[in-house]
Amino acid sequence: MKSVVDEGRWLAAESDQTVEALTERFRTAVADERILFVLEDAGRIVGAIAVHPTGVEGVHNLGMWILAEFRGQGWGRRLLDTALDAARAAGVRKVVLEVFPDNGRAIALYASSGFEIEGFKRDHYPRRGGGVRSAVVMACFLHPSR
């Protein structure tokens, strides 16, 4: 995950986070019993997806990352399908995510899985270099509204 964070293009997290801090975030996700799947290659975690509660009943957030050398091989699709199936089985009604607007491949992947654009967070994520990043908000309904 550290190398994806260090790319500075795809995740809201900034590159000054230590491997230890990122590892602790990962451990917390597991301990919180979030829906979490990892992509592993020869004993090394090369990608992950998590679906976790938002505080609104039935609505969960989704986050995913894959190392650069494993992108474009269908692993994102497999992780996404697996996580959405697990969320559906757990009774999650709606899954929400944020993606940077210049991440066209991710937006296309999410759209092909039923996610629709719900909004836009303009100049939302401050960057250490002085700029800010906007985010597209997308959501997918897994179960009809109650």
Could you tell me the domains of the chain? 2-141 (3.40.630.30)
pLDDT for 21-80, tens place per residue? 766 766 666 556 578 898 999 998 889 899 999 989 999 999 998 988 999 999 999 999
pLDDT for residue 2: 45
C-alpha 38/C-alpha 57 separation (Å) is: 25
Looking at beta carbons, which pairs linking 128-131 to residues 24 or more positions away fall under 8 Å? 128/14, 128/15, 128/16
- Interval 76-87 mean pLDDT: 96
pLDDT of residue 102: 93
pLDDT at 64: 92
State the pLDDT at residue 125.
87
pLDDT(143) > 70: yes
Confidence at 10, pLDDT banded by 50, 70, 90: very low
pTM: 0.79
CA quadruple 134, 64, 74, 83: dihedral sign = negative
